[in-house]
Amino acid sequence: MRTGSLKNKTVVITGASTGLGATLARKCAQQGARLVILARNGKRLEAVARECEQLGGEVMTVVGDVAVAEDGKRLVEAAIERFGRIDYLVANAGVSQWTAFAEIEDVALFRTLMEVNYLGAVYCVHPALPHLKKSKGHFVAISSIQGQVGVPLHTGYSASKHALQGFCDALRMEVAESGVGVMTVLLHWLKETELRQRALGRDGKALGTASRRHRAEAVSLEEAAQAIVRGMQKRQQRLYVPRRLRLLAVVHALWPPLAERVVKGKVAREEG
Ligand SMILES: NC(=O)c1ccc[n+]([C@@H]2O[C@H](COP(=O)([O-])OP(=O)(O)OC[C@H]3O[C@@H](n4cnc5c(N)ncnc54)[C@H](OP(=O)(O)O)[C@@H]3O)[C@@H](O)[C@H]2O)c1
């Protein structure tokens, strides 16, 4: 397994105005990476860019929506125009859901989840692929354990992350010979992000600040970003954060009813 520093590497990150994407950008900047960061909120994105510059990174911002294919192309073109290459593309932008399927009032919510979490990654990696081939770069898809194990109250979110996982597993085999790596990051719940308050409710709108707090174990942004950067440097294929999460995937493959009992218990504790 090859390892390497991110110094002078061009790292493109979507969804970098808050949460994990912003933390990842700061981590890469500390290593002297050249960053191209995208999100819809330009003001917050600029604030992250200033922080990254202070940490030693060279940064360019692109305001855009990953659910729009044209914005994926624009992101890649901007990165090439500014830095001439792409070494890592991190598809991190995401939106969640916290609603029982039966209570959903408009199934358009499912389209939003697929457009952001799955197609949002496809729309960026498709135009980036020729450049990743040139640099023998790496595509990093920020997924969730929900890409492997379904979770109640998250039907549409789990489905979108399963789609992303299947896409990445197939793509990895297609591009392996060209030297491009594909890593999926299967995360547990993260603390300190806005994912829960922005999660879509029964009416398809963000739940807002009154949404669930983390009661069970959850990973800090710092720990998650550190593990992801290490995984990028080692060019890993599948990264579980925390590592013990892999156990759930194994149990789910061997004995699904046990895994489902565990998952239902954890969701119920977060609800309670
Ligand atoms: N938090 C968790 O517990 C958890 C667990 C497992 C996996 N994950 C995954 O980790 C990733 C990051 O989530 P987070 O927890 O850091 O959430 P977050 O704090 O809500 O951040 C989400 C980021 O994505 C951006 N974004 C959302 N929709 C977008 C769109 N259509 N186009 C462009 N950017 C968009 C947001 O910026 P703008 O609003 O400015 O566009 C924001 O920067 C997601 O893929 C999520 O599924 C999170």
Interval 77-104: pLDDT, tens:
999 999 999 999 999 999 999 999 999 9
Assess if residue 46 is contained within a domain: yes
Question: pLDDT tens, 59-68?
Answer: 999 999 999 9
Residue 31 sits in which domain range? Answer: 10-244
Give the span between the Cα atoms of 121 and 168, in whole angstroms: 10
Output the CA torsion sign for 62, 232, 266, 105. Answer: positive
Report yes or no on 259 lying in a domain.
no
Q: Which residue has the tokens 């939003």?
A: 112
What is the rounded CA–CA span in Å between residue 208 and residue 226? 28
| Probe residue for ligand 1, chosen from 12, 38, 40 as the CB with the greatest number of ligand atoms within 8 Å | 40
Burial class (CB in 10 A: 0-12, 13-18, 19+), 145: buried
- Residue-wise pLDDT for 137-173, tens only, equals 999 999 999 999 999 999 999 999 999 999 999 999 9
pLDDT of residue 63: 98
Does 255 have pLDDT greater than 60? yes
pLDDT of 4 > 90? The answer is no
> What would the pLDDT profile of 195-239 be if each residue is shown by its tens digit?
888 999 898 888 887 556 666 678 999 999 999 999 999 999 999
pLDDT of residue 213: 67
Does residue 71 belong to any structural domain of this protein? Answer: yes
Residue 148 identity: Q
The CATH code of the domain that includes 131 is 3.40.50.720
* d(C-alpha 47, C-alpha 143), whole Å: 25
Active site residue 240: no
Radius of gyration, CA atoms only, the chain: 18
Alpha carbon of 17 to ligand 1 centroid (Å): 9
Cβ atoms of 214 and 189 closer than 8 Å: yes
Q: What is the mean pLDDT of residues 167-186?
A: 98
| pLDDT for the residue 232 | 97
Q: What's the pLDDT score for residue 210?
A: 57
> Does 32 fall in a domain?
yes
Is 109 part of a structural domain of the chain? yes
pLDDT of residue 3: 57
**pLDDT for 269 beyond 90:** no
Residue 272 lies in a domain: no
Write the pLDDT tens digit of every residue in 22-50. 999 999 999 999 999 999 999 999 999 99
End-to-end Cα distance, the chain: 44
Q: What is the pLDDT of residue 192?
A: 86
Question: Residues 53-58: contacts with CB within 8 Å, 24+ apart?
Answer: 53/29, 55/26, 55/29, 55/30, 56/29, 56/30, 56/31, 56/32, 57/25, 57/28, 57/29, 57/30, 57/32, 57/33, 58/34, 58/83
In a domain, 255, yes or no: no
Cβ atoms 224, 20 nearer than 8 A: yes
Q: Can you read off the two tokens belonging to residue 44?
A: 């917050």
pLDDT of residue 211: 57
**Other beta carbons less than 10 A from residue 270's beta carbon:** 16
pTM given for the model: 0.96
Domain count of the fold of the chain: 1
Is 148 near ligand 1, meaning CB less than 6 Å away?
no
pLDDT band at 127 (very low <50, low <70, confident <90, very high): very high
Catalytic residue among 118, 123, 157, 240: 157
Listing DSSP states for 46-106 in one string gives: HHHHHHHHHTT-EEEEEE--TTSHHHHHHHHHHHHHHHS--SEEEE-----B-S-GGG-S-
Asked whether residue 105 is domain-assigned, the answer is: yes
What is the bridge-based pairing of β-strands 138-142 and 88-91?
Answer: parallel
The whole-angstrom separation of Cα 206 and Cα 211 is 9
Ligand 1 pocket, residue 142 CB under 6 Å? yes
pLDDT greater than 50 at residue 1: no
Residue 128 confidence (pLDDT): 98
Alpha carbon of 255 to ligand 1 centroid (Å): 31
Instruction: Determine the atom of ligand 1 nearest the C-alpha atom of 185.
Output: 7
